[in-house]
Amino acid sequence: MNIQGKTVVLTGATGGIGNAIARSLATAGARLILAGRDKMQLDRLITTLPVAGAPHIALTADLSERAGRQALVAACAGCASGIDVLINNAGLSDFCFLEATDPAMISAMLNINLLVPLLLGVELLPLLKQKDRAVIINIGSIFGGIGYPGFSVYCASKFGLRGFSEALQREFAGSGIEVLYLAPRATKTPINSSRVVEMNRTLGNSMDDPQRVADVICQRISADRWGSCAIGWPERFFLWLNGAFPGLVSLALRRQLPAIKKFATAEPVSIHTMKFRGDDL
């Protein structure tokens, strides 16, 4: 797909990955409908993006609320050219063991990471189907294929998003609507707390710049390569290994468990007293 002149809906636009995706797609000539919850950051972002044709649109909305999604659908329906691509990028994460997780945080992660992409798929599908070709891109995670201690709820949401994407791709086979599930490894964005960064440094886990994720998205779009794509080595190998020989991965992670416990949240944290580490905030 030639992205030039296409209209792209991007959620989580002001986060680290979202910001990089927006800049890359705008530079390639796309028109963007950007959704996020921080109006100041959205306005700042949109004023710095190159414009090739019709102006970009910034929408301040909480997509976990029905009213926020309705506002996004209305903005998309108001585009005379329609919409060509939906990128579900908004995400939320927390690093702690299940017993220390606030139930409200569990609901929020499952809502933003999984339920919102499902609902937007339903609500924007009529507009996407108006095009001969359209694309849905779901930003997942390596943890959507490997269960990792301290990220049980996050893993549950991304495992679900991966299954949703796979089923959707098969459901739309031959219809003109393509689906891409992209699974980055750890990235240098605010979604990863300082404890996660320090744990990754201790364990020797690589962290990518958000621009790498944006570059892969642009490459997959231009090459018409859909389906599922994981970023990073040896992470892609461990995804395969976890599917074929999960016991070996469990053994490796058991050896890492003392270090993981050192950095995971030891005490319950209220959702009302912590700042969400989301890629849309």
Distance CA 108, CA 237 (A): 31
List the catalytic residue out of 143, 154, 181, 238: 154
CA count, 13 A, side-chain hemisphere, 129 = 9
User: Does residue 148 carry a catalytic annotation?
Assistant: no
d(CA 37, CA 11): 10
Beta bridge partners of 177: 134
Q: Are 68 and 20 in contact (CB under 8 A)?
A: no
Task: Tell me the C-alpha distance between 20 and 24, whole Å.
Answer: 6
In order of 23, 26, 126, 228, the CA distances from 56 in angstroms are 12, 9, 22, 28
DSSP 8-state symbol, 55: P
Q: Which residues are catalytic?
A: 154
